[in-house]
Amino acid sequence: MKLNIKVLVLAVTLGGMVAALTPDFADGARGGARGGGGATRSGPASSGSVNRHSNNRRDRKDNRHDNRREVRHDVRKERHEFREDRVRRHRARHLTYAAFRSLSCRTTVVIVNGISYYGCGGSYYERVYQGGSVVYVIVVPPPGYY
Amino acid sequence: MKDTFMKDSYALCGAWSLCVLLAGCGAETSSNAQPDAAAEQTGAIEQTDTPAETDTPLEMDAAVIDDGVVALLKQMTSKVAGLQEFAVTLETGFDVLQPNGQKLEFGSRRTATIRRPDHARFTYQQRSGVAGELVFDGSAIWAYERDQNVYATIEQPGDIDASVDLVTIELGIPVPASDFFAKDPSIALAADVLEAQDLGTSTIDNQPARHIALRKPGVDYQIWISDATLLPVRVVITYHDEPGQPQFWARFLNWETAPTNGDAVFAFSPPEGAESIRFATFDTSESAEEAVP
């Protein structure tokens, strides 16, 4: 009985710790939307359009998604699908250029198949265009650098 | 006695841990509930804005569309739509609501060079110093960032409207004031108008311009149209259903309605040493909005 109570205490305590830590992880995942100085630099008004709420525009988007799906499939083959999959799995973790430069590690650059991989603290990053900015996303290390 | 003390200690520790867990859940719940509360508050504010409210001043009851304003607006959009090739410089700014509730302004200096139906070149210099360009060459879209000397490209045979939609909606790259560069700007600017008011003549850059104010679902916008040229000289957009009601503004400077651009303006050649990268949202099934929180 004493053992069961100990297990319960341990489980509840760990549960409380995990619950307390979870919001921090969530904030970390959103870090890529922030620029220098920690400020959020994009929002609804950055679009500069009166048409954001138009149903017509959303309909056009849906139609275009359908039309482009086939084109994407062909291009995907040309663009090393294996790499896309790796990036997609890690797309939630990305850093702005300023944030990447401020990392306290010695950056190494590895070029594999024409792609530059930036090694930092055991992780590898790739530069991509996202939302009008160039950001660094964590990817699986390139072949030979696992 | 010792066993009882141990059991009591474990029970106390367990109760404390449960409190910590519940407090954590409570905090999480309250933070999750905050947007809903804000949304309800926004809804309440919107309700007071409706003309049906009895507290609304009499002059605001008349949610009217001034036909003269719409006619002037369409004169302007027809003028822009009729320009086969043009270039304009824009000074832009926009508000961004911060997580702490503070509203900050960012902005950029931009140029738009348009050759209908499918060629365009947009350059930007953000106040932060980041600079780059976006080129529609009729068969592909090229995005280039100067600081890091990188570019990305995607096939896009189609007119400027289709390219702007691809860039803004799927790739998440803003093209501010793009409503004015569309094949028919009246589709965005004069459709679904709920209210249109004439605010008379204003002086913008020492030149007289007509100040008109319009409302559409979700946005209020004001446009200043030059008396002399019938071209827009300033626009302010208020996103009144977004938290903090952020605004976007742009000044249109140096309209060139008969530019003599060579074809090279609408072609992109990667500068020496430039590295090709990819668009993050390219090849994914997720939408651009998900990638850009």
Return the CATH number at B232: 2.50.20.10
Which residue in chain B is spatially nearest to A72 when comparing CA positions? B283
Residue B47's alpha-carbon distances to B32, B41, B44, B127, in angstroms, are 24, 10, 5, 37
Would residue B50 count as lying in a domain? no
Predicted confidence at residue B283, as pLDDT, reads 41
In degrees rounded to 5, what are phi and psi of residue B152? -135, 150
Predicted confidence at residue B118, as pLDDT, reads 97
Predicted confidence at residue B140, as pLDDT, reads 97
Interface contact flag, A64 B162, Cβ < 8 Å: yes
Interface contact flag, A49 B150, Cβ < 8 Å: no
Please check whether residues B32 and B174 belong to one and the same domain: no
Query: What residues of chain A, 57 to 76, have a C-beta less than 8 Å from chain B?
Result: 57, 60-61, 64-65, 68, 71-72, 75-76
Predicted confidence at residue B257, as pLDDT, reads 96
Please check whether residues B217 and B142 belong to one and the same domain: yes
The label of the residue with tokens 């979870």 reads A22
State the smallest CA–CA distance between residue A53 and chain B in angstroms. 7
Interface contact flag, A9 B13, Cβ < 8 Å: yes
Please check whether residues B137 and B228 belong to one and the same domain: yes
Chain A residues close to B106, C-beta within 8 Å: 41, 46
Predicted confidence at residue B78, as pLDDT, reads 98
Residue closest to B91 by CA, chosen among B103, B112, B107, B114: B107
State the smallest CA–CA distance between residue A122 and chain B in angstroms. 22
- Give the pLDDT band of residue A93 (cuts 50, 70, 90): low
Would residue B29 count as lying in a domain? yes
Going by their DSSP bridges, the two strands B275-276 and B150-155 should be labelled as: parallel
Would residue B111 count as lying in a domain? yes
Average pLDDT over residues A59-88: 46
Of the listed ranges A14-23, A136-145, B279-288, the least confidently predicted one is A14-23
Predicted confidence at residue B29, as pLDDT, reads 39
Interface contact flag, A16 B20, Cβ < 8 Å: yes
- Give the pLDDT band of residue A143 (cuts 50, 70, 90): confident
Please check whether residues B84 and B34 belong to one and the same domain: no
CA gap B283, A69 in Å, rounded: 9
CA gap B230, B208 in Å, rounded: 11
Which residue in chain A is spatially nearest to B22 when comparing CA positions? A16
Predicted confidence at residue B216, as pLDDT, reads 95
Interface contact flag, B170 A42, Cβ < 8 Å: no
Please check whether residues B160 and B271 belong to one and the same domain: yes
The better pLDDT of the pair A97, B287 is held by A97
Query: What residues of chain A, 83 to 112, have a C-beta less than 8 Å from chain B?
Result: 84, 87-88, 91, 94, 97
Q: Between A127, A131, A134, which is nearest B172 by CB?
A: A131
Would residue B171 count as lying in a domain? yes
Residue closest to B136 by CA, chosen among B150, B149, B123: B123
Domain that holds residue B219: 67-291
Would residue B267 count as lying in a domain? yes
Chain A residues close to B112, C-beta within 8 Å: none
Please check whether residues B132 and B181 belong to one and the same domain: yes
Of the residues A12, A95, A129, A134, the best mutation for testing chain B's interface (the one with the most B CB atoms within 10 Å of its CB) is A129
Residue closest to B246 by CA, chosen among B223, B221, B224, B225: B221
The complex's ipTM? 0.70
Residue closest to B279 by CA, chosen among B175, B174, B173, B178: B173
Q: Per-residue pLDDT tens for A25-36?
A: 222 223 333 345
Predicted confidence at residue A139, as pLDDT, reads 87
Interface contact flag, A23 B99, Cβ < 8 Å: no
Please check whether residues B28 and B157 belong to one and the same domain: no
For residue B131, how far is the Cα from the chain centroid? 18
The one-letter code for the residue type at B58 is L
Please check whether residues B83 and B141 belong to one and the same domain: yes
Please report, to the nearest 10 degrees, the dihedral formed by the alpha carbons of residues B112, B115, B121, B124 taken in order.
0
How many Cβ atoms sit within 10 Å of the Cβ of residue B215? 19
Chain A residues close to B131, C-beta within 8 Å: none
Please check whether residues B263 and B130 belong to one and the same domain: yes
Of the listed ranges A61-70, A117-126, B86-95, B198-207, the least confidently predicted one is A61-70
Interface contact flag, A2 B189, Cβ < 8 Å: no
Would residue B123 count as lying in a domain? yes
Instruction: Provide the domain count of chain B.
Output: 2
Predicted confidence at residue B26, as pLDDT, reads 42
The better pLDDT of the pair B186, A84 is held by B186
Would residue B182 count as lying in a domain? yes
Predicted confidence at residue B24, as pLDDT, reads 44
B282 neighbors B151 (Cβ within 8 angstroms): no
CA dihedral sign, ordered B87, B191, B91, B201: positive
Please check whether residues B131 and B38 belong to one and the same domain: no
Which residue numbers in chain B have pLDDT < 50?
Answer: 1-2, 4-6, 12-15, 17-58, 60-61, 282-293
Predicted confidence at residue A94, as pLDDT, reads 73
Please check whether residues B108 and B23 belong to one and the same domain: no
Provide the token pair at B11: 């029970």
Would residue B103 count as lying in a domain? yes
Chain A residues close to B217, C-beta within 8 Å: 53
The better pLDDT of the pair A117, B288 is held by A117
Please check whether residues B86 and B27 belong to one and the same domain: no
